[in-house]
Structure 1
Amino acid sequence: MEVQSILSPRRVLCGAQGGSKKRALETLAHHIAADIPTLNADELFSSLIARERLGSTGIGKGIAIPHCRLANCSGTLGALITLQDPIDFDAIDGEPVDIIFALLVPDEANDEHLQTLAGLAEKFSNPGYLAELRRADNNQALFDAAVGTTTVTP
């Protein structure tokens, strides 16, 4: 899975204030809408919250991958935030979440949606990848770590 195909430097946010799951998703929705003017932050937030009501997207190890389908989404989009302080996200392992990768897909993108989610879950299962994301201390460093352009130092 090539993260750079769905993520842009404008859709990463390093060290965001979380507070709660709801607040983190609201921050994420507003951050995405600021980059994609055709998306409404309130509608996006509502879609992400509606998906969370079906079951938590906290996949464990401090990671959540909230996702939703949108009628006015022209292609698969991603956004990544790290939180200053981990938050309860009702993750499957009960651990707090500090890395959130949102995935937005067009309504009709069924297979692509599932394949992208599986690819992200696989990427986030790599401890080295997670360490690079958590080591990032600014938006550009977070983007570079996410797309794999950082230099790993021992």
Structure 2
Amino acid sequence: MAVRFSDFLDPTRIDLDVRSARRTTALHQVADQLSTHAAMRNYKLFYKDLLARERLDSTCLGNGVALPHARTDHVGETMIAVGRSERGIYFEKADQHVNLMFVLGTPKRDPGSYLGLVSALCKLMKSAERRAAFLAATTPEAFITAIKEAETS
């Protein structure tokens, strides 16, 4: 069975108003939504791993989408936080602005979950029409609905 990205989304972990245009500040704002996740073992070490991965290479997927992520021992299960920025967040290494940021934490012991989610997200973000629907969502619940509709179309 294919991984459904929407199964990992929680309205309390979707920020539709990321205000900072600086990558590091915006990343902290979005990732911090995961600090209270029940499966978070150590947020500080998770965030350290996330930043280390960011330093390796750009996590921009193109088309205004980024997927900062960490495969780490500091999460007990896969978790996702979402951030949306109207004006865009500048990712220096990719020299582009991002409007949608998906922060992903996956356990090291579960590479299949990570690969499945990355694949699912890439498929969802291919269509400009779908991206526009995600950007137009007015509430976190509407954002999840738009993702679910895209998954079934």
**Same-fold call, TM > 0.5?**
yes
The structure-2 alpha-carbon separation of the partners of 1:41 and 1:74, relative to structure 1 and needing over 3 Å to count, comes to closer
Q: Match for residue 115 of structure 1?
A: 116
- Normalising by the residue count of structure 1, what TM-score does the alignment of the two structures yield? 0.84
Superposed CA offset, 1:82-110 (max 9, x none) = 01420211464x43101001111111112
List alignment gaps of at least 5 residues for structure 1.
Answer: 150-154
The structure-2 alpha-carbon separation of the partners of 1:139 and 1:5, relative to structure 1 and needing over 3 Å to count, comes to closer
Q: Note the 1:51-62 alignment, pairs <5 A.
A: 51-62=53-64
Q: Match for residue 42 of structure 1?
A: 44
Superposed CA offset, 1:48-70 (max 9, x none) = 11111110101111100111012
Superposed CA offset, 1:24-66 (max 9, x none) = 1111121111344734443332221111111010111110011
- Normalising by the residue count of structure 2, what TM-score does the alignment of the two structures yield? 0.84
2:87 pairs with one of 85, 88, 103:
85
Cα distance in 2 between the residues matched to 1:18 and 1:147: 28
List alignment gaps of at least 5 residues for structure 2.
Answer: none
CA RMSD of aligned residues (A): 2.0
- 2:59–2:66: 8 Å Cα contact kept in structure 1? yes
Cα distance in 2 between the residues matched to 1:88 and 1:35: 27
1:72 pairs with one of 64, 67, 74:
74
| Matched residue type, 2:26 | A
Aligned residues between the structures: 148
